[in-house]
Amino acid sequence: MPKQNKKRILIVDDIPQNITVLKEALRADYAISAATSGAKAIGIVQSDNPPDLILLDVMMPEMDGFEVLVRLKEDEISGEIPVIFVTAMNEIVDETKGLELGAVDYISKPVSIPIVQQRVKNVLKMKEYRDHLEFLVQQRTIALRRTMAAFERFVPVRFLELLSTENITEVGLGDHIQRDMTILFSDIKGFTTLSENMTPEENFAFINTYLEWFDPIVQRYRGFIDKYIGDSVMALFSTAEGAVDAAIDILKILEIFNRRQLEIGRPSVEIGIGINTGPLMLGMVGSPGRMEGTVIGDAVNVASRIERLTRRFDTPLLISATTLSKIPNPDRYDIESVGAVDVRGKSDPVVVYKILPSRLKQISGS
């Protein structure tokens, strides 16, 4: 086994004979350095090779042991080094003061060699245990942060914020809120036919390449992706305007994606985006052993139906009248009414609008 480095002990005393006695008691087991004044001691402690323990005389000229300890505690690193005060039995010393300042023990002069050796051994053992415990806590903290970061990839932080929950460990089955939000559904048109010409590996790679730029765009407009359903995306936004602007950016990025597709000999894709605004329930569903965040409500179903209408009206982006009514400045967009449309699951027609392609390139980033 490799030989371990000796622990380093700094002896601070203005009387050289006292330093000699302590050195003789400890040199066999420890690496010893010495200082005859408080100023020199502070210099050694703040060097590149600080000690693991300090034996500090109390009564010294210019700077006594109490002042030295105060100075050491002001520094984040040196303040962690344990200090044992060494004082003569005939000196009037307030031991309580030293302990309050952060010393771990007192040793009386003239020193007893066995007592010095045992107390130094005990203090260093406690320091070693404390350092190891701090290391374990740091490692567990890092692991916990990594775990939390991994969970956030499955349950968005924004989802937890809406539930008024600081972290995922506090989420329980049935936790929910009701509020108005804007729902965006996106889907690749004719994806089944497109995927028939790909191997399973190619299909998987294509989906991930296609979806990887969705999340940054959605987050840019204070939204979050609630679900990936194959090639479909469902995202939630606090504002209608944010959802519409995100949709426009998505369509702009799609143009770049399609150019790259053609460059590698792959067909371009068309997508449909449907947006609706309304009340929904957002919360945790499932069972105690397996639950997930989801949203439920008629507004969600309508958004999905509007997305399917993009095929019927041959347009990439449709929004509901409810969404349009929530946009503070609709004149920013070139909007055309599609009219009242019957959608499956709704007894009353839904009024739908499309944002004309001629306007899509002029909104985002302007």
Do residues 244 and 325 lie in contact, with contact meaning Cβ atoms separated by under 8 Å?
A: no
Q: Which residue has the higher pLDDT, 87 or 325?
A: 325
Interstrand relation of 53-57 and 8-12 (parallel, antiparallel or unpaired): parallel
Predicted confidence (pLDDT) per residue in 167-225, tens digit: 555 555 545 567 788 999 999 887 777 777 778 888 888 888 878 888 889 889 989 88
Give the pLDDT confidence of 141-155 residue by residue, as tens digits: 787 777 666 665 555
Higher confidence at residue 358 or residue 350?
A: 350
Q: How many CA atoms lie within 13 A of 106 on its CB side?
A: 18
Fold of 157-363: Alpha-Beta Plaits (3.30.70)
Asked if residue 349 has pLDDT above 60, the reply is yes
pTM strictly above 0.75: no
Structure-block tokens of residue 27: 């040199």
pLDDT of 2 reads 47
For residues 284 and 157, give the distance between their C-alpha atoms in angstroms, rounded to a whole number.
Answer: 14
Q: How many secondary structure helices (H) and strands (E) does the chain include? A: 13, 13
Q: Domain ranges in the chain? A: 8-139, 157-363
> CA 274 to CA 348: how far, in whole Å?
18
Query: pLDDT-based confidence at 362, cuts 50/70/90?
Result: very low
**Rounded to the nearest 5°, which phi and psi values hold at 175?**
-60, 135
**Who wins on pLDDT, 158 or 43?**
43
Looking at residue 150, its pLDDT comes to: 61
- Fold observed for domain 8-139: Rossmann fold (3.40.50)
Tens digits of residue pLDDT in 217-275: 988 998 988 887 878 888 999 899 999 999 999 998 888 888 888 888 877 888 999 99
State which amino acid sits at residue 269.
Answer: V
What pLDDT shows up at residue 210? 79
